Amino acid sequence: MERAPSSTTGRPGRTRPSPRSRLRRLLGTGALVSATALLLSGLVAGTAQAADVNNAQNPGFESGLSGWTCSNGSGEAVGSPVHAGSTALKAAPSASDTGQCSQTVKVKPNATYTLSAYVQGSYVYLGASGTGTTDVSTWTPGASGWSQLKTTFTTGASTTSVQVYLHGWYGQPAYYADDVSVLGPDGGGGGGTTPSVPGAPGGLKAGAAAATSVPLSWNAVTNATSYNVYRDGAKVQSVTGASATVTGLTAATTYSFQVTAVNAAGESPKSAAVSATTTSGGNPGGGGSVPKHAVTGYWQNFDNGATVQTLAQVPAQYDIIAVAFADATTTPGAVSFTLDSAGLKGYTVDQFKADIKAKQAAGKKVVISVGGQNGTVSVSDTTSATNFANSLWSLMQTYGFDGVDIDLENGVNSTYMSQALRSLSAKAGSSLVLTMAPQTIDMQSTSAEYFKTALNVKDILTVVNMQYYNSGSMLGCDGKVYSQGTVDFLTALACIQLQGGLAPSQVGLGLPASTRGAGGGYVAPSVVNNALDCLSKGTNCGSFKPSTTYSALRGAMTWSTNWDATAGNAWSNAVGPHVHAMP
C-alpha cells in the first residue's frame, strides 16, 4: 500500500534487460563396393546427419569454474544444491552487478543450437550473444526447486563462437545453475553426445492422502536425472528421486497427478494420470466469522488528499477494514500505533475505539496493517519476531483490533515472520484475522519469501489480497506475460496463488479504488467483477481462462476506503454487492 501514489516497474530496481556432413565421391572398385554396402544398410542417402553434441565446456561445473568467467568474483562451484553430479554453480548478484557467468562456446556457422540449463533462484537468465543472427535469452522469476530454461539460436554464415551466459538480477539472492547444454553440431570444443530424451515414468501411485498433502511414487527411469511433478496439469515440484509429497492442498478435494522424467536432452511425455482425494480437514485458515466472500478496504490514518473519514463513515460494503498503518519503533521488530487526530480533523482515540466496537457489532472486522510503501519494519531473528508478536498483541488489546494485515513492501523473512505470526496466533486464538497484501513480484513463485510465509501459516491465514497495481507486466500461471490494468492480469496472476497452494478462500484481488489511488494498474469496478466471475464461474474471462473454477474465492480488496469516498464510493457500490452475491 502507499501513503501517496507512486509508480514502480515490474522488476526490482532496474528496467528488464530485457550440419550437415557431405559424403565424398567414391572412386574405384573398392570404394564402389563400400558405398553399395552402405546404401544397402540404409546408412547413406546422399547426405548423413552428424550426431548433435553438447558444445559447452564443463557444463555441470564438475571441474569447478573451469571454462567459465564470472563477473566481480560472483561465482563459485558448490556441492549443494545440485541438479546432477556432485557440483553446481552458485553466483551472487549485488546491488550493481547481476552475477553473470559466461563462457565462449565453439560452434558451426549456419547451424541451429538448443541452449538449456537447470536453474534455481529468483530472476535467473540464460542467453547467448554474438550469434551472428538474433541473440537470445530467457528467464524465470523464481523456483524453489530446479527448473529448466531453454531457447534456440541460429549462427551466422561466419560465426564460429558464441558467448553463453547465466545471470541473476540486481540485489536479488544468489542463484544456482547446473547442466548447461549447447546442443547442436560439433563446434570442436565441447563435450560428448547428449543422451536421448527419457521415456515417460510408469507405475505412478498415490499413497494415503492427508488433508493438505498427497504422497506419490513411481518407477525410476534409467537415464533420468530428475522428475517433474504435475498437479491438474501444472508443474508443482521437481525432485531427483522416484517419489514426492505434494503439499499445500485443500481438504476434501480431488486432484490429478502426473510425472515426467528429465535429463540434459529434455523432458519426457507425461505419465498416465493418477487421482487422489485429500481427507476432510475443515476450512483452511483463521478469521473467525469473516464472511465466505468478503471485501477488504484500507482506511487511511493520515490525510494525503483523499477524503478524510472516521471508521464510522466507512461504507457497510466493507467486511474487513485495515487501519493503515502501524509504525516501526526503535525496538527491533516492534510496532506502535498513534492516531493522527490532527490530520483527521480532531478524531479522538476514544471515538476511534468506539467506532471499532460498533463495526464489530455490525459483523465487521478491523485489523491493524503493518508496513505500506514507507514501512520499514524488519523481522529477521527470534528476538525481533518476539517483539513483533508482543507489540501487535498489545495493540489488539489496547484498541480492540481483530488481527493484523502484513503489508511489508521492503521484504519479509519467511522463517521469522512465520514464527512471529504463530506466536501472535497463540495469544489471540482461532478468532485472529490474518491478512496479507504482497506486491505482484512477491507472489510470482512459491520460492519467494512472501509466498513461503503465506504457505507456512496457511492454517491461520484469512486472505492474501495481492496488489494488482503499481506493477508493470508480470508472468501468469501459464508462463505468458500480462500487462497490468487488464482482466487477464488479474486472473492469470491469481491463478499462480491458486495453483501454488493457497485455498481459494485465501485469495482476494487487490485494486485501487480510483485512478488517484495508485500510480498505475487501475481498472474499472466492472473489470474487477469480470475477474471474479472468471475465477469463480469461468465466465466473463479475457484471453486467459483458468483450467478450473474456484467458487470459494474470498473476494476483493481496495486501496483505499478514502479514495473510494473521493470517487463517490463507486468502487464499493459496484464490487461490494457483486462479491456478496458470489455463490
Active site residues: 409
How many Cα atoms are found within 13 Å in the side-chain-facing hemisphere of 262?
Answer: 21
Whether the Cβ atoms of residue 313 and residue 565 lie closer than 8 Å to each other? yes
Cis peptide before 201 (omega within 30 of 0): no
CA distance 232 to 499: 9
Non-local CB neighbours of 437 within 8 Å, separated by 6+ positions: 1, 322, 369, 371, 405, 406, 407, 464, 465, 466, 467, 510, 557
Phi, psi of 169 (to 5 degrees): -140, 155
* Three cell numbers, residue 1: 500500500
E strand spans, 232-353 = 234-239, 243-246, 254-263, 266-267, 274-277, 294-300, 320-328, 335-336
In this structure, how many other beta carbons lie within 10 angstroms of the beta carbon of residue 431?
A: 14
CA distance 58 to 438: 40
Question: What is the secondary structure of 550-569 as a DSSP string?
Answer: -TT--EEEEE-HHHHHHTTT
* Three cell numbers, residue 231: 498437479
Phi, psi of 460 (to 5 degrees): -120, 5
Cβ-based burial of 150 (10 A; exposed 0-12, middle 13-18, buried ≥19): middle
